[in-house]
Amino acid sequence: MALEHVKIFNTLSGQKEDLLKPRGRALKLFVCGPTVYGPPHIGNARTFLIFDMFVKFLRSIDYEINYLQNITDIDDKIINRAKEENVGWKDISGKYELIYLKNMQVLGIDSVNIYAKATEYIPQIVEQVKTLIKKERAYLIEGDGYYFDLATFPEYGKLSHRTIEQAEDAVSRIDASDKKRNKGDFALWKLSKSGEPGWKTELGFGRPGWHIEDTSITEYFFGPQYDLHGGAQDLKFPHHEAEIAQQESASGKRPFVKQWMHAGFLTVDGNKMSKSLNNFVSVDDFLEKYPAELLRTIVFMHHYRAPMDYSDALVQTAQKNLNDIAIFLAKLKKTRGKISEIPSGDFLNSFLESLSDDFNTPQALASIFEFINKLQPNLWNLSYKAGHRAAELIEGSLKTVGILLPKQIISLKARFLARKREYYRKNKQFIQSDALRKKLDELGYIIEDTPKGPLLFKPVYATRTIQNPIE
Ligand code: AMP
């Protein structure tokens, strides 16, 4: 299926505009990856799920995407964590990189083509810093490192429309020095003190600044200019501004990136979920309690640019949404009526149009429920084929963004109890049939009497209500 226009909100232009579709080559997308110094939390995961869903959607409508993500595996946060735990910095970065990649796998985030670790691109980083020095955009603070001179880049701030830090901006302590020429100057290459990790290079024994790794990696894979850059909104300033200043100064070509997408935060009681506030739920903690597709659904329920406040009630709403859809799908697969036509065109159009309109996922979800509501009155009159076709459409639309509903597995015991209950019910022995319904409920099953007989269903997404043992 090919859609003519996918619109996105481009932070650089401040407007909704057509997503550029390069002819004859893949769209080059870079999303800032994690700093691997601790387990990822579900706030980090929100950002990566958003871009995973967006890429899956684009690929489903025939976009070719080359999706690159970096992994920051050298950083002061990593060095400090290693000191705290009295281990080597590589022990920390190696451990958390593995956890990150495993978490991504379990969450079904498989759309990234290339993961690039900063430490594997030290020669490219050194080259870019040397170019900036040659072009007089960078200067040395003796015994400290090379810094970018912001006075040479008057366009600084053109993405975020500011040049001053705000609360919730992601910052790096590596950029601090009282000898800087301008307050906002940031480190390109930090000279390492004894005991600190570093690389012996023409710039001296040191390590890269935070922003330079991204532009060195993207220049290596994509060249000095590319199509689309993503990340959460805490990276707009100073991280993404710094990337623009570095790459446009190094190459003299602009724009560095044509279109930028920024995702909203996952919050807790209105505050950004973060390691420093200690208000986070790690991906592992979440996955211990709930299946992966639940987090994907929670993310899908919110517009990617809007904040999303995490709570138990939110998880329950997502569980209910998924269960309602799954129960309806189970019913659709039981229809044996005569109606062979379903309003499928309207549904597919509105689903895809919603996703094409600045990736409006809540509207896309609403279109699924609208379709269900349209089918509902005539549900049991649908033919076997029509029922299955409608179910395939709903399953297919969710699959577009990677939401896969698990197959219903009903145990033999449950089937037996359901048959027994039906026997009692038909004989009007309601006390016995109610007792069996209760038993089925205790086993985690819902039984619903439909015109086509009783439908046994296991709501896989619900955490079972714990019965008071005294009752
Ligand atoms: P970090 O590992 O801290 O570098 O973060 C990895 C990614 O997660 C970056 O794109 C951050 O912008 C993003 N991120 C961090 N906290 C949140 C949050 N609470 N909600 C959404 N995205 C976040």
Instruction: Say how many CA atoms lie within 13 Å of 121 toward its Cβ.
Output: 26
For ligand 1, say whether the CB of 70 is within 6 Å of any of its atoms: no
Q: How far is the CA of 230 from the centre of ligand 1 (A)?
A: 12
**pLDDT at residue number 394:** 97
* Strand runs labelled E in 14-102: 15-18, 27-31, 65-71
Q: Counting atoms of ligand 1 from 1, which one is nearest the CA of 234? A: 12
Q: Judging by beta carbons within 10 Å of its beta carbon (0-12, 13-18, 19+), is residue 294 exposed, middle or buried?
A: buried
How confident is the model over 237-242, as a mean pLDDT?
Answer: 97
Buried b (16+ CB within 10 A) or exposed e, 62-77: ebebbbbbbbbbbbbb
H/E stretch holding 345 reads helix 344-356
Residues 6+ apart with CB under 8 A from 110: 52, 104
Instruction: Report the predicted TM-score, pTM, of the whole model to 2 decimal places.
Output: 0.94
Instruction: Say how many CA atoms lie within 13 Å of 325 toward its Cβ.
Output: 29
Average pLDDT taken over every residue of the chain: 94
How confident is the model over 49-77, as a mean pLDDT?
Answer: 97
pLDDT range class, residue 3, cuts 50, 70, 90: low
pLDDT range class, residue 470, cuts 50, 70, 90: very low
- The closest alpha carbon to 110, from 139, 145, 170, 69, belongs to 69
pLDDT range class, residue 465, cuts 50, 70, 90: very low
C-alpha span between 434 and 439 (Å, rounded)? 9
For ligand 1, say whether the CB of 52 is within 6 Å of any of its atoms: no
| Distance between start and end Cα atoms, the chain | 56
Taking the CB of residue 270, how many other CB atoms lie within 10 A of it? 8
pLDDT over threshold 60, residue 466: no
How confident is the model over 59-72, as a mean pLDDT?
Answer: 97
For ligand 1, say whether the CB of 233 is within 6 Å of any of its atoms: no
How confident is the model over 396-404, as a mean pLDDT?
Answer: 97
Q: Whose CA is nearest to atom 15 of ligand 1?
A: 44
For ligand 1, say whether the CB of 44 is within 6 Å of any of its atoms: yes
Ligand 1: which of 44, 46, 100, 214 to mutate, judged by most atoms within 8 Å of the beta carbon?
44
Residues 6+ apart with CB under 8 A from 210: 72, 75, 172, 174, 175, 186, 187, 239
Taking the CB of residue 424, how many other CB atoms lie within 10 A of it? 17
- The closest alpha carbon to 180, from 213, 156, 144, belongs to 144
Domain ranges of the chain: 19-139+151-170+209-299, 325-400, 412-444
**pLDDT at residue number 4:** 64
How confident is the model over 184-189, as a mean pLDDT?
Answer: 96
**pLDDT at residue number 175:** 80
Tell me which fold the domain 325-400 belongs to: Four Helix Bundle (Hemerythrin (Met), subunit A) (1.20.120)
Cα dihedral 175, 180, 183, 184 sign: negative
C-alpha span between 61 and 277 (Å, rounded)? 40
Q: Whose CA is nearest to atom 12 of ligand 1?
A: 232
- The closest alpha carbon to 133, from 65, 72, 201, 197, belongs to 201
CB 213 within 8 A of CB 245: no
**pLDDT at residue number 2:** 47
Q: Whose CA is nearest to atom 2 of ligand 1?
A: 34
Q: Counting atoms of ligand 1 from 1, which one is nearest the CA of 308? A: 20
Q: Tens digit of pLDDT for each residue in 362-383?
A: 999 999 999 999 999 999 999 9
**pLDDT at residue number 451:** 85
Q: Does domain 19-139+151-170+209-299 have CATH number 3.40.50.620?
A: yes
Q: Tens digit of pLDDT for each residue in 310-332?
A: 999 999 999 999 999 999 999 99
C-alpha span between 182 and 150 (Å, rounded)? 7
Decide: helix, strand or coil at residue 259.
Answer: strand
pLDDT over threshold 80, residue 471: no
For ligand 1, say whether the CB of 274 is within 6 Å of any of its atoms: yes
**pLDDT at residue number 344:** 79
pLDDT over threshold 50, residue 467: no
Q: Tens digit of pLDDT for each residue in 261-286?
A: 999 999 999 999 998 899 999 999 99
For ligand 1, say whether the CB of 35 is within 6 Å of any of its atoms: yes
User: Which pair of tokens denotes residue 111?
Assistant: 């759309």
pLDDT range class, residue 469, cuts 50, 70, 90: very low
Q: How far is the CA of 265 from the centre of ligand 1 (A)?
A: 8
pLDDT over threshold 90, residue 26: yes
Fold match flag (19-139+151-170+209-299 vs 325-400): no
Q: Read off φ and ψ for residue 33, nearest 5 degrees.
A: -90, -165
**pLDDT at residue number 174:** 77
Q: Tens digit of pLDDT for each residue in 84-130?
A: 999 999 999 999 999 999 999 999 999 999 999 999 999 999 999 99
Q: Tens digit of pLDDT for each residue in 425-463?
A: 999 999 999 999 999 999 999 999 988 889 898 876 754
Taking the CB of residue 344, how many other CB atoms lie within 10 A of it? 15
CB 238 within 8 A of CB 245: no
Q: Whose CA is nearest to atom 7 of ligand 1?
A: 44
Q: How far is the CA of 2 from the centre of ligand 1 (A)?
A: 32
For ligand 1, say whether the CB of 352 is within 6 Å of any of its atoms: no
pLDDT range class, residue 255, cuts 50, 70, 90: very high
Decide: helix, strand or coil at residue 31.
Answer: strand
